[in-house]
Chain A
Amino acid sequence: MRTIIALGAGTFRLGRFSFLAIGLGFIFQTAFLSIRGQELHRCPVTNLFEVLIFLAWSVALIYMVIGPAYRLSLMGAFTAPLVFLIQTLALLAPIDVRRPVKLPANAWLEFHASMSIVAYGAFALACVAGVMYLVQERQLKTHQLHSIFYHLPPLTDLFAAITRLLWVGFALYTLGLASGFFVDAPLPRVQMMCAFGVWLLYAAILQGRHLRRLAPTRVAALCIVGFAAALTLLWGISFTAQMHSLP
């Protein structure tokens, strides 16, 4: 919030605040997930509340791993509100419904769920970088440069980060999807089809990028669309999983 206000007032200066704030939040998230996991004796993704907290944790994790590597200024300022939004939604919405989980803890199923959510974290950051790209691109095209423009990373650096985040997310998501086939109990067909649909969407984006058929602005816009689709799917899966008491 501090960064956003500073940007609005035109007094933003680069600092370590975003990284530290997200780092501190990450420690609390880890503590919460750890306590909840010990309580449940399984990976804490048994309801939508836990899934959203796990997702916010994944976004923070990927940011802390990827952010410093690419040294993308303002990435934190765009990431923090996303984490804040996801967590606020999780905390305010009446979704922390505890129901007895019928299925025993299954390593493959937990790997499938957790890996997929961590992949969503990478897709979320690609979405954040996509928003940053489109904001900057728009200002460059219209020749109207606002205060925020001077803090955004160069376009080509942002695009490189988007591409790498997409590859990281795609690889993790592929692992998560593939592990789903090793689960003893059959997973709901509709969920698997939707998950495969999201996988195909990201595969198409990466293919378009690789073959140079998609312009960077399209890739950036598709990152936002892809993440919106992934979030919808995540909500759908969590909702139906609760109905079927799946983890």
Chain B
Amino acid sequence: MNFFCVGLSHHTANVETRERFAGDGETQCVLRSSGCTEALLLATCNRVEVYAASERRISTEEIARCLSRKIDKYVSHDETAAFYRYEDMKCVQHLFRVASGVDSMVVGETEVFGQVKKAYESARATGAAGPILHRLFQCAFRVAKQVRTHTEITRGSVSVGSVAIDLAQKIFGNLAERKVLVVGAGETSERTARALFSRGVVDLRVSNRSAERALELAQLVGGVAVPFEQWREQCRKIDILITSTSSDKPLLGPENLAPMLRDRVDRPLFIIDIAVPRDVDPRVNEMEGVYLYDIDSLQSVAEQSLALRRQQITAAEAIIAEHIAAFKERFEHRPARHFTGSTHSTMSESPMRVSEL
């Protein structure tokens, strides 16, 4: 009995190819006829992989045909060239890396862990995953948890929106009692306001040149509308300012902000300027207690987080290597019947398809 992984990912194939081999309702039939005794399909937006166990070797082309969504199921040589194949311990290593987020496009993302778990649980429920895949995936979940716990691979945010919200939490802690003013009621403002609302912000104020649009967004996020002429005055009271207007010139500079800060020397002001061109003069960041982040600096923080995560790959690989050695030892010393026992079922049910991101 050998086990293997055949698949495509963002490393080897473009989105068109991944779409072409994403599998469909017929995938199960082809896998069954191909001789897989156990099989599991993991399909996310960045990868399509089959993890399987079989008595005889099943070629990559067969698996590719199984995954093909074309009616004729013809797969050219060029198309299969994008597939990778890992056997035995290489397969174990690959799964551990995938589940830990080491192999992800955004290193350290945790969503893939949930997707792997969901794929496994569904395959187990239908009997598609037997004792071999059970052991393999249970071990992968333990490895992923250990990597998350013992390295900083999931540390920091890697998207501009979440960086802004995380920074707000690093400055203020609990956001529930913070006052937020959103200037400019465009799509970006709406998304940011919603994100803040989801993090517990209750006091949300919205200001826009168009009073109707401000009122509309305020109602959407449970806030209040502020007349556009008065938004600067609000800087005396608020904790977080989000600006995203289409103004050609900066709306806020040290000159007009300084008088607002006189009575709030002990309260920080976090300004998120996501407008291009910028709404806030960069010199504002030099003012005491003011933390200004524009779109570039948010992007820079996101990149720093990603770089920090990449630095953790070595530590994660070390944990993975330890578990591969342990898995190998257990696998080699375990009698074969444990892997092909009575609970083992042939591929009679459909392999699971994980919903795309």
Contact status A212-B285, CB under 8 Å: no
Residue A103 at the chain B interface, CB threshold 8 Å: no
Contact status A143-B289, CB under 8 Å: no
Q: How far is the CA of A155 from the CA of B239 in the complex (A)?
A: 13
Residue A244 at the chain B interface, CB threshold 8 Å: no
Residue A88 at the chain B interface, CB threshold 8 Å: no
Known: A10-B152, A143-B300. A215 touches B308 (CB 8 A): no
Residue A38 at the chain B interface, CB threshold 8 Å: no
Which B residues lie within 8 Å of A159 (CB)?
266
Residue B156 at the chain A interface, CB threshold 8 Å: yes
Q: How far is the CA of A149 from the CA of B169 in the complex (A)?
A: 12
Please encode chain B, from 263 to 274, with 1 for each CB lying within 8 Å of some chain A CB and 0 for all others.
Answer: 111101000000
Contact status B155-A155, CB under 8 Å: no
In chain A, residues 122-172, which have Cβ atoms closer than 8 Å to a Cβ of chain B?
136, 140-141, 143-145, 147, 149-150, 152-157, 159
Residue A36 at the chain B interface, CB threshold 8 Å: no
Please encode chain A, from 207 to 228, with 1 for each CB lying within 8 Å of some chain B CB and 0 for all others.
Answer: 0010011111100000000000
Stretch of B2-10, B76-84, B170-178 that contacts chain A:
B170-178
Q: How far is the CA of A143 from the CA of B291 in the complex (A)?
A: 9
Which B residues lie within 8 Å of A145 (CB)?
156, 301, 304-305
* Minimum distance in angstroms from A230 CB to a CB of chain B: 24
Known: A156-B268, A215-B265, A216-B266. A141 touches B173 (CB 8 A): no
Q: How far is the CA of A9 from the CA of B206 in the complex (A)?
A: 43
Residue B233 at the chain A interface, CB threshold 8 Å: no
Q: How far is the CA of A154 from the CA of B151 in the complex (A)?
A: 22
* Minimum distance in angstroms from A10 CB to a CB of chain B: 5
Q: How far is the CA of A77 from the CA of B293 in the complex (A)?
A: 29
Residue B189 at the chain A interface, CB threshold 8 Å: no
Which B residues lie within 8 Å of A143 (CB)?
293, 297, 300-301
Q: How far is the CA of A157 from the CA of B177 in the complex (A)?
A: 13
* Minimum distance in angstroms from A62 CB to a CB of chain B: 22
Please encode chain B, from 250 to 294, with 1 for each CB lying within 8 Å of some chain A CB and 0 for all others.
Answer: 000000000000011110100000000000000001001101010
Residue B149 at the chain A interface, CB threshold 8 Å: yes
Partner of A147, one of B266, B289, B297, B308: B308
* Minimum distance in angstroms from B76 CB to a CB of chain A: 45
Known: A11-B315, A140-B171, A156-B172. A212 touches B268 (CB 8 A): no
Known: A147-B308, A212-B266, A217-B288. A140 touches B150 (CB 8 A): no
Partner of B265, one of A11, A152, A157, A214: A214
Q: How far is the CA of A217 from the CA of B304 in the complex (A)?
A: 25
In chain A, residues 5-47, which have Cβ atoms closer than 8 Å to a Cβ of chain B?
9-13
> Which has the most chain B C-beta neighbours within 10 Å: A12, A13, A136, A153?
A13
Residue B89 at the chain A interface, CB threshold 8 Å: no
Contact status A156-B150, CB under 8 Å: no
Q: Could you count the A-B residue pairs with CB atoms below 8 Å apart for me: how many are there?
A: 70
Q: How far is the CA of A214 from the CA of B264 in the complex (A)?
A: 10
Which A residues lie within 8 Å of B152 (CB)?
10-12, 147, 150
Interface size class of A (residues with CB under 8 A): 20 to 34
Which A residues lie within 8 Å of B291 (CB)?
140-141
Residue B138 at the chain A interface, CB threshold 8 Å: no
Closest to A155 in B: B171
Residue B167 at the chain A interface, CB threshold 8 Å: yes
In chain A, residues 176-233, which have Cβ atoms closer than 8 Å to a Cβ of chain B?
209, 212-217
Residue B340 at the chain A interface, CB threshold 8 Å: no
Residue B312 at the chain A interface, CB threshold 8 Å: yes
Contact status B173-A154, CB under 8 Å: yes
Q: How far is the CA of A149 from the CA of B152 in the complex (A)?
A: 12
* Minimum distance in angstroms from A161 CB to a CB of chain B: 11
Closest to A136 in B: B170
Contact status A156-B308, CB under 8 Å: no
Residue B311 at the chain A interface, CB threshold 8 Å: yes
In chain A, residues 84-143, which have Cβ atoms closer than 8 Å to a Cβ of chain B?
136, 140-141, 143
Contact status B289-A215, CB under 8 Å: yes
Known: A13-B149, A214-B265. A156 touches B171 (CB 8 A): yes
Q: How far is the CA of A213 from the CA of B170 in the complex (A)?
A: 24
Q: How far is the CA of A152 from the CA of B166 in the complex (A)?
A: 13
Which B residues lie within 8 Å of A213 (CB)?
265
Partner of B172, one of A154, A209, A215: A154
In chain B, residues 137-169, which have Cβ atoms closer than 8 Å to a Cβ of chain A?
149-152, 155-156, 167, 169
Contact status B149-A212, CB under 8 Å: no
Q: How far is the CA of A144 from the CA of B301 in the complex (A)?
A: 7
* Minimum distance in angstroms from B266 CB to a CB of chain A: 5
Q: How far is the CA of A144 from the CA of B285 in the complex (A)?
A: 14
Q: List 19 A-B contacts (CB under 8 A).
A: A10-B152, A11-B150, A12-B152, A136-B170, A140-B171, A150-B152, A150-B155, A150-B156, A154-B170, A154-B171, A154-B172, A156-B171, A156-B172, A212-B263, A212-B264, A213-B265, A214-B266, A215-B265, A215-B288
Residues of B within 8 A of A (CB): 149-152, 155-156, 167, 169-173, 263-266, 268, 285, 288-289, 291, 293, 297, 300-301, 304-305, 308, 311-312, 315
Given A10-B308, A145-B156, A156-B172, 8 other A-B contacts at CB below 8 A?
A11-B150, A12-B152, A136-B170, A143-B301, A147-B308, A150-B155, A155-B268, A159-B266
